[in-house]
Amino acid sequence: MEFTHTRLLVDNYKECFLFYRDVLGFNVSWGDENSNYADFKFNGATLGVFDRKQMIKAIGGDYSTDIEKVDRTALIFSVESVEESYQALKNKVNFITKPTEQKNWGIKVAHFRDPAGSLIEIYESIEMSTEF
């Protein structure tokens, strides 16, 4: 696994996008103020900002505003093969999602949590769908 970035899960996507782009001056490497997901590059690091409702939909959870029950960050790891990593890890961690192609995102993903409950995503790049 290769750690690629941290993703902030936010309820006010556009406001956060504009904050990181315009206030902090981070360069946008993917997305825009209306895409509900964006990557920002700065000093060799990547910060993702993602609409929290969409992340919850991807992992099959229930949306809540109770701060004690919500994911606010996700650690993102690139792997060569999500299927192979899933097979290697499935007896060691409890996966929230099975390997799933997210063609609109251009990735195949699976999700699980660490012992503290932190959300972790493993992904591999796939061909991105041109149909939205």
Q: Is 120 helix (H, G, I), strand (E, B) or coil?
A: strand
Query: In the prediction, which pLDDT does 61 show?
Result: 75
Q: Mean pLDDT score of the chain, rounded to an integer? A: 87
CATH code for residues 2-125: 3.10.180.10
SS3 at position 113? strand
Structure confidence at residue 82 (pLDDT): 97
- Alpha-carbon distance of 11 to 55, in angstroms, equals 11
Radius of gyration of the chain (CA): 15
Asked if residue 28 has pLDDT above 90, the reply is yes
